[in-house]
A and B are shown apart, each in its own frame.
Chain A
Amino acid sequence: GALVYQYPRRTICKSGTSMRMECQAVGFQATSVAWYRQSPQKTFELIALSTVNSAIKYEQNFTQEKFPISHPNLSFSSMTVLNAYLEDRGLYLCGARDRGQQYFGPGTRLTVL
């Protein structure tokens, strides 16, 4: 079956430092990968959408300078949170899509001290 793994599941970083998270699609080809953030007491916000052979598209309030994304092949994507601060804490979700079906990973929970 189709599965999406995310690593790490939980991480803690100091304010002002950076943190990289990974997303792995297993059993299917992730032609597009969407990264979301669920902040405390909020719903999921789309950060950016990465589609093979297209430029990565960032949503309003999110930038490449803050959340650089790499999508080198059809099974892997990574995103870095640069200069993390308290407002960046939350659950970062990877959604990998193949042929009309989007599969979500379990998320990477980021705590910023």
Chain B
Amino acid sequence: GDSVTQTEGPVTLSEGTSLTVNCSYETKQYPTLFWYVQYPGEGPQLLFKVPKANEKGSNRGFEATYNKEATSFHLQKASVQESDSAVYYCALSVTGGYKVVFGSGTRLLVSP
């Protein structure tokens, strides 16, 4: 079946340093790829999505490129802030987007 694997957390960084969270996926179909962010006590919020291979998505300084050949969708940010502390989920959706398959989540802790 479809699956998503991502960096196991927690990832602890200092403000101003760079972030990479690895994400790889498996599916026999043509997925749309997502990054979601979840803050304590809330549901996941869409950070951005990329429906097509070889395209890049970005939002709030975060970005990821849909690499079909490598089946990867790594999340990057050049300079993290304390407010970026949250859990980040890589996810995919096929069959018209009715079902979202989430990775296990990566907790990011940014210290000032």
**A contacts, CB < 8 Å to B:** 6, 32, 34, 36, 42-44, 46, 49, 51, 91, 93, 95, 97, 100-102, 104-107
Contacts and interface: CB of A to CB of B under 8 A. Distances in A.
Given A43-B89, A43-B104, A43-B105, A34 B43 contact: no
Given A104-B44, A104-B45, A105-B43, A42 B104 contact: yes
Contacts of B36: 104
B102 A44 contact: yes
Interface residues of B, number: 19
Given A42-B104, A43-B102, 15 more contacts: A32-B98, A43-B103, A44-B44, A49-B99, A91-B43, A93-B43, A97-B98, A100-B96, A102-B93, A104-B36, A104-B43, A104-B44, A106-B41, A106-B43, A107-B43
